[in-house]
Chains A and B, each alone.
Chain A
Amino acid sequence: MVRGIERMSADFDPGSDTLYRLLAWTSPSYPVGAFSYSHGLEWAIECGDVRDVATLVAYIETVLRHGGAWMDAVLFSHAWQAADDDAAFDEISELAAALRGTAETALESRQQAQAFLQVTRRAWPHPWLDAFAERQRGRHLSHAVVMALACAAHGIALTAALHAYLHGFAANLVSAGVRLVPLGQTDGQIATARLAPIVADVARRAPACELDDLGSAAPMLDLFSMHHETQYTRLFRS
């Protein structure tokens, strides 16, 4: 078995089936229920903090640079690098599942993790995924860490895997914004285009962040998520 860690320096070949897998796993059609989570955005729109393309981009940039997506990017990197060491990997998995600021952001990550693991074990089986599922039975998981394991197991390089994960995270929030603000589909793509350099920057910096320096700096995002729990009319679960 080729261990993921040994593929770290391998070039990412766009003609290979690794690209195909990565596109499948981060597609909005991958059945993890991503469409039902807004990561507090629904409340930010209710408050008027997000109301157009610029404010939507600002919200998602904060999530990526200082909030949950930054934390997940660092955890994704460390998990990918530890994928061939069960004890180290399980420790990161436990930490990642516990590093959730609110009930709804915990649900968002844990539920997508369970769905991702279940679907991926059937459609793209790998002994690492089965062994992990066996070890973690009944425990909380995090989406980023489970996807990092699948990527490492299937030989997808960290840089590409993390970039795709963050793109998926950002695109999902853009989609939520398009529905909630609401914005036109073209405005949504303008937002996605503006987020490209930010996603690339976070994907480049996160692997260099030690776990001792891992942290968020956006308590208002947690407060938005807390207030979303009591939002009167809502479409999203977070």
Chain B
Amino acid sequence: MTASLPNLHLPRAPALRRQRVDGALRLSYRADRDGITRLADLYQRAPCRVLFPDVDAGEPPQAVLLTTSGGLTGGDRLDIALQVGARARATFSTQAAEKLYRALDDEDDTRIDVTLDVGAAAWAEWLAQETILFDRARLRRSVTMNLGGDAHVLALESVVFGRRAMNERFDAGLLHDVWRIRRDGRLIWADAQHLAGHVQDRLDARLGYHGAAAAATLLLIGPTAAAQLDAVRDTLSALPVTGGATTLDGLLIVRLLGTDAMALRDAAVTVAGLLRARAGGLPARLPQVWYC
């Protein structure tokens, strides 16, 4: 039937536009005179929201960030600024995986900028759940950390290159993923991954991402970071992912690649748990949202 054939001469209907997202979150913890960490400042603008679940005794206060829009697309941006004052302790996590949907050609890249300022002798954790890149998503993400003196930070970020279980792949698009770590104002480590265009070749290449369906970066920054290297290497050697660890300038860097996103998640949870126990004196278990 001719009715089922597309009419190639019709102009394309204009894409339905939803309002662009411009979310922001500012969240600040400080230690009071007794050394107890208290919430000091909170500002949230949709779709950014934060929850404060009850935590077990001995755990730092926990903030769980969520995006109520149910995903992000071209032109959307989130601006997240977190502070942990001197001697305070806090754990930041995210409620669920962040979905990055396809951006249209005429839309700007999606931007997510996270800054974490951590005062001297403080312990802060940034334990974000996965970012899932749908095909033709275009994401520019930065994580900037400013540490005072002997502060410790444990950080985890991971990205999933399409949901393979749903037969989806991140074949084309942009991932520009940046870390900047400063201690006492001086840049001690920077990292930038740039996957652009037809990314599937890079993801499949043995010398690229080695067929990874997901990738994770874990960082431990602080005076005891380097001392964890051997324990992390021992743990990595028993995990079903491709991984490695190194230390430089008071940083422990762990990189994980996995052909199975769930196995990669489990591996990241194992290593992060190990580090929070060894360096933070905390339970090896991650925040409850990781197990929901």
A205→B242 CA distance, assembly (Å): 31
Interface residues in A36-78 (C-beta closer than 8 Å to B): 49, 58-59, 62, 66, 71
Q: Which residues of the partner chain B approach A220 to less than 8 Å between Cβ atoms?
A: 205-210, 242, 257
Cβ of B187 < 8 Å from any Cβ of A?
yes
On whether the beta carbons of A94 and B208 are closer than 8 Å, the reply is no
Residue in contact with B190 in the complex, picked from A98, A212, A221, CB distance below 8 Å: A98
The residue in chain A whose Cβ has the minimal distance to the Cβ of B178 is A215
Cβ of A135 < 8 Å from any Cβ of B?
no
Interface residues in B138-182 (C-beta closer than 8 Å to A): 176-178, 181
On whether the beta carbons of A222 and B244 are closer than 8 Å, the reply is yes
Residue in contact with B193 in the complex, picked from A98, A103, A217, A227, CB distance below 8 Å: A217
Cβ of A184 < 8 Å from any Cβ of B?
no
Residue in contact with A101 in the complex, picked from B191, B242, B243, CB distance below 8 Å: B191
Cβ of B43 < 8 Å from any Cβ of A?
no
**CB 8 Å contact bits of B177-210 with A (1 = contact, 0 = none):** 1100100001111111111100100100111111
**Cβ distance B183 to chain A, nearest Cβ, rounded Å:** 11
On whether the beta carbons of A217 and B248 are closer than 8 Å, the reply is no
Cβ of B233 < 8 Å from any Cβ of A?
yes
Q: How many A-B residue pairs have CB under 8 A?
A: 95
The residue in chain B whose Cβ has the minimal distance to the Cβ of A216 is B193
Cβ of B38 < 8 Å from any Cβ of A?
no
Residue in contact with B248 in the complex, picked from A66, A94, A106, A223, CB distance below 8 Å: A106
A59→B207 CA distance, assembly (Å): 7
Q: Which residues of the partner chain A approach B187 to less than 8 Å between Cβ atoms?
A: 94-95, 98
Q: A66-B208, A102-B246, A226-B244 are in contact. Are A217 and B202 (CB under 8 A)?
A: yes
Cβ of B261 < 8 Å from any Cβ of A?
no
Interface size on B, residues (CB 8 A): 37
Q: A66-B202, A222-B255 are in contact. Are A216 and B192 (CB under 8 A)?
A: yes
On whether the beta carbons of B253 and A102 are closer than 8 Å, the reply is yes
Q: A66-B208, A103-B247, A222-B244 are in contact. Are A217 and B191 (CB under 8 A)?
A: no
Interface residues in A192-226 (C-beta closer than 8 Å to B): 212-223, 225-226
On whether the beta carbons of A223 and B193 are closer than 8 Å, the reply is no
On whether the beta carbons of B257 and A223 are closer than 8 Å, the reply is yes
Cβ of B245 < 8 Å from any Cβ of A?
yes
Interface residues in B235-258 (C-beta closer than 8 Å to A): 242-249, 253, 255, 257
Q: Which residues of the partner chain A approach B246 to less than 8 Å between Cβ atoms?
A: 101-104, 225-226, 229
**Cβ distance B280 to chain A, nearest Cβ, rounded Å:** 23
Between B177, B207, B246, the greatest number of chain A beta carbons within 10 A of the residue's beta carbon is seen for B207
The residue in chain A whose Cβ has the minimal distance to the Cβ of B233 is A230
B residues in contact (CB < 8 Å) with A: 176-178, 181, 186-196, 199, 202, 205-210, 212, 215, 233, 242-249, 253, 255, 257
Apart from A98-B190, A217-B194, what 6 extra A-B contacts exist at CB < 8 Å?
A: A66-B202, A102-B246, A215-B178, A218-B202, A220-B208, A222-B255
A residues in contact (CB < 8 Å) with B: 49, 58-59, 62, 66, 71, 94-95, 98-104, 106, 140, 212-223, 225-227, 229-230
Q: Which 6 A-B pairs have the closest CB atoms?
A: A215-B194, A226-B244, A215-B192, A98-B190, A223-B244, A62-B207
26 contacts between A and B (CB under 8 A): A62-B205, A98-B187, A98-B188, A98-B189, A98-B190, A99-B191, A102-B253, A104-B246, A106-B248, A214-B192, A215-B177, A215-B178, A215-B193, A216-B193, A217-B193, A219-B210, A219-B215, A219-B255, A220-B206, A220-B207, A223-B242, A223-B243, A223-B255, A225-B246, A226-B245, A230-B233
